[in-house]
Amino acid sequence: MHQKPDGDAMGSALGLYHFLVALGSEVTVISPTNWADFLNWMPGVKKVVDFENQREKAKGIIDAAERIFCLDFNVLHRTKHMEQPLAQAKAVKLLIDHHEQPQREAFNYGISDTGKSSTCEMVYDFIIKSGHGGLLNETIAECLYTGLMTDTGSFRFPSTTASVHRMVAHLKDSGLKHTPVHEHIYDNFLENRLRFIGFALLHRMEVLYDYNTALMYITREDLVKYDIKTGDTEGLVNYLLTISGIRFGAIVVDRSEERKWSFRSKGYFDVNAFARRHFEGGGHMNAAGGRSSESLQETVKKFKEVLTEYQIQLQ
Ligand code: 5GP
Ligand code: MN
């Protein structure tokens, strides 16, 4: 899975894990980095190896593996420090992913389908098409529902097809209790995170009406002051799109190692292309991310400068 795994990365990996274990395989889930606390309820998460924390152990597992499933990323550098060990691994590498422009030569086999809502949906298809759909149970269903729910914005993005709803129906028939999943993911934060959101909306948001764009920047001091952890800023960018007429939302967070951008759009403004072109990133048409090594001030300045090229597209 990609670094700082989200609900879809962790959900698809753990869903596949429980399925392969049920088939009798020996399986380890490795995450390139740590993850948000709101994923810690997930079945099997305690066995996930954090590459940054347990580098030697993880490298040993990667070297010894027969097959490596690469989930919810399609370019090796999205796995940060795992890029080299993955590139050198002798295992057969199988890609299951829904992002644009896969690095084809890095994988032996795979499915890359940008029409899919989530990697969790693709793992579900994989399970069904393998002929072992009978192994679906409440545990696998909880994992796969997590990514399906988070990547579709709780079933509202255009990627929410009839197949997505049919999958939910099947998961429900397999024992899924969906309400606790929503509560674990969305109603499980500390008070400081809500106060931080209030602060950020009040003091760190700029609305650029000429471009139908809203921008938010979070400084390192803000992160310290409100004790903001991995995952606490997730979803913040979506607030920007709740302003009537705003078609492009962008947030940049001053993480210690880099300035991390999240981009979201409504309609036909392609944030994947924008992220690739200007901020070393990528993703999907309506949701993408990127990065910058420049200072927060510099990267915000650059954003505003390049935005001027898109005024017509954003009308
Ligand atoms: P988020 O803003 O939630 O971090 O990411 C939005 C989408 O863009 C996700 O599908 C994520 O996998 C993808 N994404 C985020 N950052 C990057 C990046 O730096 N490079 C690429 N290729 N995709 C990214
Ligand atoms: Mn995904």
- pLDDT surpassing 90 at residue 92: yes
CA separation for the pair 129, 127 (Å, rounded) = 6
- pLDDT surpassing 90 at residue 267: yes
Distance 12 CA to ligand 2 centre (A): 9
| Ligand 1 atom 14: residue of nearest CA | 289
Distance 263 CA to ligand 1 centre (A): 8
| Ligand 1 atom 15: residue of nearest CA | 289
Q: Where are the alpha helices (DSSP H) in 117-177?
A: 119-129, 138-151, 162-173
Q: Which two tokens stand for residue 41?
A: 């309820």
296 pLDDT tier (thresholds 50, 70, 90): very high
| Ligand 1 atom 6: residue of nearest CA | 288
The matching CATH number, chosen from 1.10.10.10, 2.30.42.10, 3.60.20.10, 3.10.310.30, for 191-310 is 3.10.310.30
Class of domain 7-186: alpha beta
Q: Closest ligand to 147 CA?
A: 2
For residue 272, the ligand 1 atom closest to its alpha carbon is 8
| Ligand 1 atom 21: residue of nearest CA | 282
User: Mind listing the pLDDT tens digit for each residue in 99-125?
Assistant: 999 999 999 999 999 999 999 999 999
Q: 289 CB less than 6 Å from ligand 1? A: yes
Distance 233 CA to ligand 1 centre (A): 14
For residue 72, the ligand 1 atom closest to its alpha carbon is 12
User: Mind listing the pLDDT tens digit for each residue in 12-33?
Assistant: 999 999 999 999 999 999 999 9
DSSP 3-state of 266: coil
User: Mind listing the pLDDT tens digit for each residue in 209-226?
Assistant: 999 999 999 999 999 999
What is the average pLDDT value for the chain, to the nearest integer?
97
Over residues 307-314, mean pLDDT: 97
Q: Where are the alpha helices (DSSP H) in 2-80?
A: 7-22, 55-64
- The per-residue pLDDT for 275 is 98
User: Mind listing the pLDDT tens digit for each residue in 143-197?
Assistant: 999 999 999 999 999 999 999 999 999 999 999 999 999 999 999 999 999 999 9
Residue 97: which of 8, 223, 206 has the closest Cα? 8
Q: Closest ligand to 283 CA?
A: 1
Mutate to test the pocket of ligand 1, among 72, 74, 78, 148 (most ligand atoms within 8 A of CB): 78
| Ligand 1 atom 7: residue of nearest CA | 288
Cβ partners under 8 Å of residue 37, min gap 6 = 188, 229, 230, 231
Q: 9 CB less than 6 Å from ligand 1? A: no
Distance 289 CA to ligand 1 centre (A): 4
Decide: pTM greater than 0.85.
Answer: yes
User: Any idea where the domains of the chain sit in the sequence?
Assistant: 7-186, 191-310
- pLDDT surpassing 90 at residue 203: yes
User: Mind listing the pLDDT tens digit for each residue in 30-84?
Assistant: 999 999 999 999 999 999 999 999 999 999 999 999 999 999 999 999 999 999 9
- Contact between 212 and 245 (Cβ < 8 Å): yes
- The per-residue pLDDT for 276 is 97
CA separation for the pair 251, 300 (Å, rounded) = 9
For residue 6, the ligand 1 atom closest to its alpha carbon is 3
- The per-residue pLDDT for 114 is 96
Distance 166 CA to ligand 1 centre (A): 27
For residue 4, the ligand 1 atom closest to its alpha carbon is 4
6 pLDDT tier (thresholds 50, 70, 90): very high
| Ligand 1 atom 17: residue of nearest CA | 289
- Contact between 258 and 292 (Cβ < 8 Å): yes
Q: 116 CB less than 6 Å from ligand 1? A: no
- The per-residue pLDDT for 84 is 98
Q: What percent of the chain has pLDDT over 90?
A: 98
- pLDDT surpassing 90 at residue 230: no
Q: 231 CB less than 6 Å from ligand 1? A: no
